[in-house]
Amino acid sequence: MDVSSHKVVVCGGGGFIGGHLVKQLLHDGVDVIRTVDIKPRNEWYQVHPGVENITADLKDLEACKRAVKGADLVFNLAADMGGMGFIENNKALCMLSVLINTHLLMAAKDAKIKRFFFASSACVYNGEKQTNPNVVALKESDAYPALAEDGYGWEKLFSERMCRHFEEDFGLQTRVARFHNVYGPDGTWTGGREKAPAAVCRKVIEAKISGKHEIEIWGTGEQTRSFMYVDDCVKGTRMIMESDIHEPINLGSSELVSINQLVDIAEQFAGIQLKRRYNLNAPRGVNGRNSDNTLILDRLGWEPSTRLVDGLRKTYDWIESQVEAHACV
């Protein structure tokens, strides 16, 4: 299946990943007829001309029906979420995102949408498999027996099942990717919803500017993660949408690093070394999480390959420009 021969709707198009996805699809000549996001237009990370850009709450069924009207394909990246600080302190809000996917699936079924993509998360994985920083990379079957991240992870896991059953019961073709820690420019870098790469870059930049060479790190700093650059995420999202993969599949980098190593890289960019203060009471998530890419390599012959040092350099430079711009306001 070729996305470029169909009319596309991107839900969550005003968000970080959604904005990059729309940009790339348009660049590739795809007919993106509509993007939808709950945020006011002036808060969208990217707004693209030539597209019907709608502000709407997709937890509402009627809004979902309007969103998918006239489309062939739906990318659902809409969710109320953020970094670990937001997820751990807003479990109910994260769970309410189940209304978005449920109502979009109902609307897509009625509109006879040809294919539906759902952006899931590595937070669906069983927490007992993520207790060691030297984690064994998580393969798709490790989501069961279920013990997902409380709130956000359970919503994603439930919505994965909803996609499966809409395909089984109603014939709606669905595709599901489990995103692993996406980062890059043109995203959240302050305010409480930012994820670790953006937060670390901002803290290092602020420490350099202020001359107070200290940084607070949530947890011990030994927690490990893999971080996927947004360009890889966008490429993989399209490939999975176009594929014949019917079950949830990992979409993430397999380059495992600790949070301390993440800080090391940002310090190198800044040319400084910071005193590290570890806040053991702050949200820190699981001790270790990495993506097993065996399945995506087997099915697509591809995996995310942008090195963290390269993607973080672009992210750091962009955040530095944002910090400087805000300082001038």
Please identify every residue annotated as catalytic. Answer: 152
pLDDT for 327 equals 73
CA distance 257 to 266: 13
Evaluate the CA torsion angle 83, 281, 289, 99 in order and state its sign.
negative
Residues of the chain with pLDDT under 70: 328-329
Structure tokens at 152: 């956000």
Residue listed under structure tokens 């989501």: 143
- ∠ Cα 35 157 123 (to 5°): 85
In CATH terms, 184-225+256-290+306-324 corresponds, of 3.30.70.3190, 3.40.50.300, 1.10.287.3510, 3.90.25.10, to 3.90.25.10
| Residues of the chain by 3-state class (helix, strand, coil), percent to 5 | 45, 20, 40
Residue listed under structure tokens 């959240």: 188
The 249-251 sheet, strands edge to edge: 52-55, 31-37, 7-11, 73-76, 115-121, 174-179, 249-251
Terminal CA-CA length for the chain = 48
Q: Give the three-state DSSP class for 78.
A: coil
Evaluate the CA torsion angle 32, 44, 267, 218 in order and state its sign.
negative
How many residues does the structure list for the chain?
329
pLDDT for 211 equals 92
Helix extents (H) in the chain:
16-27, 61-68, 84-89, 91-95, 98-110, 152-170, 196-210, 230-242, 259-270, 294-300, 308-327
The answer to whether the beta carbons of residues 172 and 166 sit under 8 Å apart is yes
Task: Provide φ and ψ at 292, rounded to 5°.
Answer: -85, 115
The answer to whether the beta carbons of residues 179 and 228 sit under 8 Å apart is yes
The answer to whether the beta carbons of residues 314 and 231 sit under 8 Å apart is no
For 3-182+230-251, CATH gives: 3.40.50.720
pLDDT, tens digit, 9 for 90 and up, residues 30-65? 999 999 999 999 999 999 999 999 999 999 999 999
pLDDT for 13 equals 97
pLDDT for 91 equals 94
CA distance 291 to 282: 24
What are the Cα distances from residue 177, in Å, to 183, 243, 294, 295? Answer: 16, 11, 14, 12
The domain spans of the chain are: 3-182+230-251, 184-225+256-290+306-324
